[in-house]
Structure 1
Amino acid sequence: MRPDPPTVGVEEEFLLLDPPTWRNVPAADELRVALPESLRERDHAQFRSSKVEMVTPVCATLAELSDRLAENRTAAAAAARRCGARLVAVGATPVAEPDLTEVDTPRFHAIVEQYGPIAQDPALCGCHVHVGVPSRELALEVCNHLRPWLPVIQAMGVNSPWYAGTDSRHASWRGIALERWPNLGPWPLLDSPEDYEQAVDELVGTGVMLDATMGLWWARPSTRYPTVEIRVGDVSPTADDAVLVAGLVRALVGTAVGDIAAGRPALRMPEQLLRAAHWNASHQGLGGTLTDLWERCARPAWELVDRLHETVAPALERHGDAALVAAGLDRLRTLGTGADRQRRAGDLPRALANLADQTAG
């Protein structure tokens, strides 16, 4: 008998945009009221009123996850239209956000007081994948093992090429913009729960973080759930793209658990090279080279995607996800990343109109 696959859930962040101008619309409160009552608990309040987060329940299979993602997107897109906006799965504010006022809570006010203009950047949207892990100690070890693969996941998910109405020359402006936060970036290599608690206490104690929840590393043990949370990717253009990312992330976690049980250590690399690999992933997407952190050199992006797929293939088979993920990778190879698809539309208004239609499914 084989163990059940780990559970999986996804949090998706979206922007509310005005179709004529494609500027952000602060209508999140109105959207929440317009949602079907049964789905309102899946809408989690965000820092900015032009931003919506929809979360799935805990799912056992990718098919179930796909259904819940589609359900969330369809309902939220319809509610947005009733509020005079479009729900758009894009990683960064593409044109402008006239109202930069944070949502009125003591915590959000404290974030603005602490971080100033960094916190008042236009809104950014990610795709956060949660994978069930039975203990905090194992979750920490899993995060260590995921480090060299997360730039590849990041490059696959790039979906924010626009900034201030023009092409930013980066595939993920979200990834570039988040570099300024002191508490975001690669997971710090930590060897025990005690190391983790000490690192968090020191960051809070020195004023870098307001509290433990602001350790917003690309991979981290969730502060709320018994999961590893991967938050490196832009929000995906379609539900199918999000399912592909979730399937690969779940397989990476399953592979890491097997490596840990077999006594295989996590790869260690210079921190500056790991940070550079993430920057390069945001810049290039899959359109050029990525950083091979094993050989410490540049490789064609798709070589590393194929290596990732090969590495997690046994876990995909165990989870029953092999066929779905293979089809998703074929689709990604044919259509390109979200950034590729937006640029191919020809101009910004057409790109965002297409993306709003894709978001709604």
Structure 2
Amino acid sequence: MNKHLLPLSLGGLAIGTTEFVMMGLLPYIARDFDVSIPQAGYGISAYALGVVIGAPLLTELGRNLAPKKLLLLLMLLFTVCNTLSAFAPSNTVLCLTRLLSGLPHGAFFGVGSVVASRLAAEGKQAQAISVMFAGLTIANLLTVPLGTFVGQHYSWRYALGGLGGVGLLTLLAIYFFLPALPAQRVGSHSAELALIKKADTWLIILITAIGTGGLFCWVSYIAPLMTEVSRFPAHYVPYIMMLVGLGMFVGNLVGGKLADRVAPVQACLVLLLAMAGALVVIFFVSENQILSLLMTFVAGCCSLALAAPIQILMINSSKGAEMLGASITQAAFNMGNALGAFLGGLPLAAGYGYTSPELVGVGMALAGSGFAYVLLSRSRRIEPAPAPVPVG
């Protein structure tokens, strides 16, 4: 492993923790603020909205900065805003601070993805990006369950406040260990923003925002699913989140290797279909504790296996505007986060059971695979024909 990628992995740990820890804390936030679990879930959507706003905006504002300096500024903003979340006096204020906490998320992963690919050996770019996302998977394996445990036994405020400390450690790691790469300016603002006019860009955004929304339909409400349907005691939830994290860790490694061996769009198509299948199985087997745990691991694998293929797909499609393209992908991931949490909560608010979000997730994953198929078909149509072989 390239040691220079470790600060990016630690950043992934910090960001992954703040993004996913809310899923296990929803019952305690809802209780403290006297709101319903779907209302507490608005904090998840608010964070995702912050990512959508901040990813392209902060990337463009920092386009002339050296990557290391930009990453330091983004992590400083992350640290301050996450610390403020611990002091929110109401659910409304918490949603606001969560929105602010999400602003640097997409830009950090976007810039970090390009830095990782520049530091990687030839042909290993997707695996290098997967090292950064490995921090996110480790978050789900260790720090997210730890945060859930703290929220359950002490206070969700301590869990969110601890993210400030993780952010500070990341700042130090970036400062001391990340190489100082030069700023990479290619073209003007208009040339970079021309990326938005490309049909392939929008297809990748739709693959990401709609397809990965299936994951968030499931994981946003995993705590009540496991306690109310699978009948696990509440104190098992942190360990179940560790199982999700283990699945994500394994899936991330598989996705990185897969995207370096086959076309990234093909990897996305296969993985989205696998996610849809996993959610169907979860809908039917959640009352069985053993099968429920097995499918929790499988769904975790499918979800994060998509991260590196989608990111390298956008980077390859964004020549001359790689940082903007990579940050847009992160915005799209969190559109999926917001859509999944919101749409998955609709059947719950209507009185349906805690397995109902999985059916919404199946539809979203299948829609994402449809967009991936369209992009694959387009790429095959525009591939140049092989040159004729001279005869004689």
Q: When the two structures are superposed, what TM-score results if normalisation uses the length of structure 2? A: 0.33
Answer 1 or 2: higher relative contact order, Cα 8 Å, separation at least 6: 2
Q: When the two structures are superposed, what TM-score results if normalisation uses the length of structure 1? A: 0.35
Pick the structure with more helix per residue: 2
Pick the structure with more strand per residue: 1
Whose Rg is larger? 2
